[in-house]
Structure 1
Amino acid sequence: MIDVRLAGRYRLESEIGAGGMTGVWQAVDEVLERPVAVKILHRHLLSNQVFCDRFRKEALAAGALIHPNIVSVYDTGQHDEAPYVVMEYVAGGSLASRLGHGPLPPAEVSAIGAEVCTALAHAHRVGVVHRDLKPDNILISESGQVKVTDFAVAGAALGGDLTATGALLGTLSFLAPEVLEGGDPNPAADLYALGVVLFKALTGRSPRMAMDLGGGAGRAGPPAHPRDFRPEVPRDLDAAVARALSVNPAERFADAAELGLVLRSVAQARPARAVVSPAPVPPPPARNLSTPQPPAPPTPGDATSFVRSEGRWLAPVVLLVLVAIAVVIGVLQLSGKVSIIGGGNSNPPPAPKATETQVTLRPGGTMKPNPPAGDPYEHQDQLPLAFDGKPSTSWSTQWYPTPVFGGLRDAVGIYGDAGQPVALKRIEVDTTLPGWTAAIETSDDGQNWSAPGPSATMSPQQSFDVSALGSHRYWMVWITKLVSGPNGFQASIAEIKAFH
């Protein structure tokens, strides 16, 4: 074990990885008593002062990214003239290590890609572009949480002239054509890189050959399709990957959130029930082809004789039963309890069911007890999808390691705003991922909530009777237990509808 401390508090324990620009160490923050990861710039790059300054600047920008799908940057500094970045330690592994065992199931690839889109959407909204997205920079924790890392390192590298050093040699196949031609990296370039990641995760290969550094960057042909190499890839996923790989940035998705919606829809799709063909009827046994003999005449004791004898006494019995039924109906009709002919003393038909009117619920918010620092919401960016009237889009919780949120919290909630207090009759929750458990809570100010009502295990269209809850403005679906999915445990809501 080495005895090196950075800034007097980060004790290096073991080197856990190395890239073209940095070495990665597992360390311990002795002040906060927690594990951390430390990236230290390789010494052969220290002579490039422009790059070193940019490395520090990008680290500060990445430190402002606080999101559950982004590896947090805690600190930055310099040790023995080498800049370093202290980051969140993610126990688990990278997507690259997972792909070392072969391509992944399409549903799992979609789920991972959707989480990466959530991270990119957040970064792009605050003006940060990753610029070097690849499987090595996508980490998957032991609980299944997807986290994107190396925003700082990637930004510094592509801001300097490092091609001659070979620092980017391993990432060229993930760079967008316009970047290879000298254009500035932008959000569209990140979407292209994610398209390459998804293609590689589905097929085990890159959609195009890595460009030769000395050969210039030429425009590629039409984007490849994963189904060309793996026919079982769903068509929606295949089309999404191909669109992300479009040579023209304008033909890619409008933003990471749009791509994330498609990927999440594929990840949450229920597999179609297999159609089982009936077992073939075995051929009849071979018969003796000798001249057939006529059947023997029935004897008085055989089955034919029994059926004939049955018919002699069965007909009178049936007739007696019909007569008895007619007598009973006549008696009931005379007493006024039954009417065969309309009018007279017949009882009136039951009153028609009262009609319902749908109440418009606007997106209200999400709630997550015991949130990590800087993240008090549960996929807040997806909130409008539960109120947009489109069954094909969904809000979902994060992935958790157990049905009860991995012990991190007791529940999470998503609520709608009726605009004013209203007495509802029922709330309908539609989901493409049934089996999780929830209840309804109410509030008049969006801050103080009632106790949850009776819980229910979700069906694809689950109805909650809320007629006894009174008049309130805010109505929340309080999720208390998750259901198993491709990447852990989760709940998903396609639509929340209110009726009075």
Structure 2
Amino acid sequence: MLHQGVILNDQYRIKAVIGRGGFGYVYRARDLLTANTVAIKELLSYLADQPQIAQRFILEARATMNLTHPAIVHTYHIFQQDNTLYLVMEYLPGGSLADRLKRGPLPPDEAVRIAIALCDALEYAHRHGVIHCDLKPANILFDAQGLPHLADFGIAHVSETLRSQRFRTVTGSVLGTVRYMSPEQLKGVRNDPRLDLYALGAVLYEMLAGRPYLDFEAETTPDALIRNAQRIQQEPPRPLRSVNPAVPPWLAGVVDRALRKNAAERFSSARAMRQALRRRETAPPPPKTRQTPAPPPPTSPSLWPLWLGALAILAIVGVIVLIWALGRSSQPIARTVPAATVTLAPTLTPTAPPPATLTPAPPTPTSPPSPNPMLTNTPDDAIEIFEEPESVSPVVFVPEGAFIRGSTRAEIETVAQQLCAGYEAWCTVSAFEDELPQRTSSTAAFAIDRYEVTNAEYARCVDAGVCSPPQQSGPNPRHGYFGNPIYADLPVVYVTWDDAQTYCRWQGGRLPTADEWEKAARGTDGRWWPWGNDAPLDRANYRPPGAAAA
């Protein structure tokens, strides 16, 4: 975190921290050349070190710099200093719509004025090939005159540019806040501008009613996430005038049309919605015959999260979830983190999945793994410690559908060559026989924790007398690791499968099924690792063949 008085790029003097985004802090600063006050967002250095993330950050920054519209927060400058990327943006002192809604609903005329301005912003962005995908009250900021501006086009949420598509989503892994996501966005659709209109309808409803359009659960557990997603898929909005009779019928009709489950029944564009708001048009009744739904999500792969390891794979699975890597007996386990914002795993479907109906995954856990340790002997002092941004989405929502499970024999032989050098006594091709045969499987929708359970989190279960301490035996027991406060925020290791299951139940979750874990870790296209088929190299605690240590 930068302190007051620090000068960036010989131009921007930091005045104060004003927030914390998904990839770093947000600062208020003074431009020493123009004397203007600006907002500066950062991409933390450990993320800037990852070329794909940095390239996507820069790519989306350039895209938003081309969005010059009175109702869109303007991006002025992007630069790098001390291995950290910074984005200089327009500073808006009037707070957010989320702040205003804490005081209750807005008068209908004011809500309509804000919605019309947002329609103008969305029409402009859509015309330039950018879809917001995370429109919500917190991303609607006000200037000193009280005029609304749409913020966070791809900065708080790094995205992939869909070069093969006409539209470019600003949230490549379909990041979004559940209560403002459309049914098709929950299924992975990312290239249809009508999903922004659905979100605007949800925001407009909230401005008028002072509450969400559905009875969403306030809990942030994965099961609650699934149930909230089901509500979006299945339940009609609560009639707006039953909540606030002061809303005129024509305006309630506009909101109702924006919140139609079928995208084809909504307004065809932001311009059409703006015209309805200006002309005070009522919404036509829904057609008796279902129209063609929105186009499916593109099949080009999105950047998979880089938080999964390869050899001692420190991954995320959770509802709460145990991570297992190729027969490892004592593994890190995933933690539960409160989540208002979720990431939908990219859908790289090898075969057409069935229509998505969100149902909780069956509570059958994985079987206890075989006792083959695969830990390299990395010294504790080689472990990097960094501060993880609190608002990075802690839960991954994986849509239902098909995926490729297992591997071919040729793939197994190649991976064994990458991993088994120096471990030939037990790491052989036969150790991977359970990968055969490769086949197509499917899962229901499920939610998974992004992060591992930390030493500190697991220690609370031990202190409560529920969980057993991590094992202190084996080829690399890491004595002094679990109880050392220096490593409190690092993943707990050497927890048995049974103790991991106990911890998950203690937290109100469960272990994943084998299918759930494999789909979450490898995607839907049969890739070997979350990032593709390349060897882990610097992505994990990995020792290449012939190397002395990881």
Q: What TM-score results when the alignment is normalised by the length of structure 2?
A: 0.44
Higher relative CO (Cα under 8 Å, sequence separation at least 6) belongs to 2
Please tell me whether Structure 1 or Structure 2 has the larger radius of gyration of its CA atoms. Answer: 1
Judging by fraction of residues, say which structure has more strand: 1
Q: What TM-score results when the alignment is normalised by the length of structure 1?
A: 0.49
